[in-house]
Amino acid sequence: MIESSLTAIVILSALLFGAVYPWTMVIVALLTMITFTYSLWRKNAYEIDFTRDKGILIALVVLAAYPLIQLIPLPLSFLGAIHHTLKDIVTISPNAAPLFHSISLYPFATELGAALLFLCLTVFSMAAFGIEDEEGVYKIIRALVIFAFVLGVFGIIQQATWNDKIYWVKRPIQKYASPFGPFVNRNHFAGFVGMIIPFSLGIAFMSRRIEKKVIYGFLGVVTTITLFFTLSRGGILSFFAGMLVFSFIVFTKGRSKRILIPVLLFVLVVGMYLIFFGISPVIEKFVHSEVSADKRLIVWKGTLSAFRDFPVFGSGLGTFEHIYKVYQPEGPALYWTHAHNDYIEFLLEFGTVGALIGALFLFFAFTMLMKTDWTGRELYLHAAFLSSITTIAVHSMFDFNLHIPSNAILFSLVLGLGVSLSRIKMNNRTKQDAWRNRQITKGE
């Protein structure tokens, strides 16, 4: 039940325009909360070893609570001591400056941001602690690989029959939208499927039967081609970064260097397709883009300038869009809803304290993920996890994928599945050791 529900949450969030509209977000949140409530009612649903898992559990709870702390009303005198928000609040309401205000400059935006963060952490928790066996993890991964293929094919068909409407019925409300598939922005489609492509390789290479290798390899190739169809520079660069990590892991951890041949074959097939059907549109997109490197540098500079006014606790989760115009450097008069760099935007909104909490959470998650044995056929799947995380990590340097609900939820699921697989293996190893000890004791 929980595996099917987690898969449905990710699929639904992608199909509902990336869950970027309020009504789509509500639907996804309701499904997530229903699943979470049901999982809590299940007997022995969560086998948690508090001695081993306490670090990640504490970091998870503190991270979820941090935006709520940003919403607590505090004296303006205290706020003035931790950042320069006092003058901004007085400017906003000069005739009735309040005596108290939250750390967040715009509490409503922080409430929305906190809801998305809590939703993602809930998905992570269910994936990391609610799946009972390895087959449950594999089931979700296989479903995601198939869905990414179907989503990509749909995107190509819709692009070929484009009538300025998503699903041929919904016109994007965003003025500068560049849709692909059900996503309002082609870059976010690339970010979504980019996280899944490594798993198509992992499943293909770890399968024993040749027909499964061919099928999942084919799904991976087609999905990768659809990523290139988006002409997303960040998506393409992050794809190659992910493949580099995948190749490095299987090359250094594999028993034979020939283990790298299937990876090179995959890249070769994709390359042959691009050369045969024309690679010039991709090259042209790297040269000319609506958001150039110079424009990104300008918005990054303005974001870091804003961070200097809110260095400790940040300006409040979700507030970038509402405060950046005050700090925008001289240059093109563009309206920026995001910093096109998830790290810088997160630093501004969460501050140094929040950034350290987030980094601590990721540290515990990666520590647990790396405890898994890198042996046998599962080497490919473990490489796929790190490749998937690398892909979104690189893409987030140039875009705001983790501010798109569907992509943030998928990342939470991937990270949770990696932790889950590691925990399941450690639990199995502990049970095997206990069984051996009992047998030894009986023998004596």
Please check the confidence at residue 439 and state whether its pLDDT lies above 80: no
Confidence of residue 156 (pLDDT cuts 50, 70, 90): very high
Q: What is the largest CA-CA distance in the chain?
A: 85
Name the token pair of 404. 């798109």
37-71 burial, b if ≥16 CB within 10 A, otherwise e? eebeeeeebeeeeeeebeebbebbeebbebbeebb
Judge whether 102 and 74 are in contact, CB under 8 Å. Answer: yes
Please check the confidence at residue 36 and state whether its pLDDT lies above 80: yes
* Confidence (pLDDT) at 68: 95
pLDDT tens digits along 51-61: 778 889 999 99
Give every CB contact of residue 61 below 8 A, 6+ residues apart in sequence: none
* Confidence (pLDDT) at 329: 78
* Confidence (pLDDT) at 316: 92
Average confidence (pLDDT) over 278-292: 58
Average confidence (pLDDT) over 102-106: 88
Percent of the chain topping pLDDT 90: 49
* Confidence (pLDDT) at 116: 96
Which amino acid belongs to residue 305? S
Confidence of residue 28 (pLDDT cuts 50, 70, 90): very high
pLDDT tens digits along 222-231: 999 899 888 8
Judge whether 207 and 200 are in contact, CB under 8 Å. Answer: no
Judge whether 76 and 101 are in contact, CB under 8 Å. Answer: yes
Rounded to two decimals, the pTM is 0.90
More confident of the two residues 2 and 265: 2
* Confidence (pLDDT) at 86: 54
SS3 170: strand
Please check the confidence at residue 236 and state whether its pLDDT lies above 70: yes
Look-up of token digits 């086998």: 47
Please check the confidence at residue 433 and state whether its pLDDT lies above 70: no
Please check the confidence at residue 107 and state whether its pLDDT lies above 80: yes
Confidence of residue 412 (pLDDT cuts 50, 70, 90): very high
Give every CB contact of residue 206 below 8 A, 6+ residues apart in sequence: 377, 378, 379, 380, 381
Average pLDDT, the chain: 85
pLDDT tens digits along 348-387: 999 999 999 999 999 999 988 887 766 667 788 889 999 9
* Confidence (pLDDT) at 443: 58
Please check the confidence at residue 39 and state whether its pLDDT lies above 90: no
Q: For the chain, how many structural domains are there in total?
A: 1
Residue 92, Cβ neighbours under 10 Å: how many? Answer: 12
Average confidence (pLDDT) over 305-333: 86
pLDDT tens digits along 176-232: 678 999 999 999 999 999 999 999 999 988 888 888 888 998 999 899 989 988 888
More confident of the two residues 289 and 353: 353
Long-range CB contacts (within 8 A, 24+) of 423-428: 423/53, 423/128, 423/129, 423/368, 424/131, 424/132, 424/133, 424/134, 424/137, 425/134, 425/372, 425/373, 426/52, 426/371, 427/47, 427/49
* Confidence (pLDDT) at 358: 96
Write out the residue range of the structural domain in which residue 62 sits. Answer: 2-443
* Confidence (pLDDT) at 436: 60
Give every CB contact of residue 24 below 8 A, 6+ residues apart in sequence: 13, 16, 17, 18, 405
Look-up of token digits 């898994």: 372
* Confidence (pLDDT) at 233: 87
Q: How many residues does the chain have?
A: 444
Alpha-carbon torsion (287, 288, 294, 295), positive or negative: negative
Among 98-107, 264-273, 414-423, 425-434, the range of highest mean pLDDT: 414-423
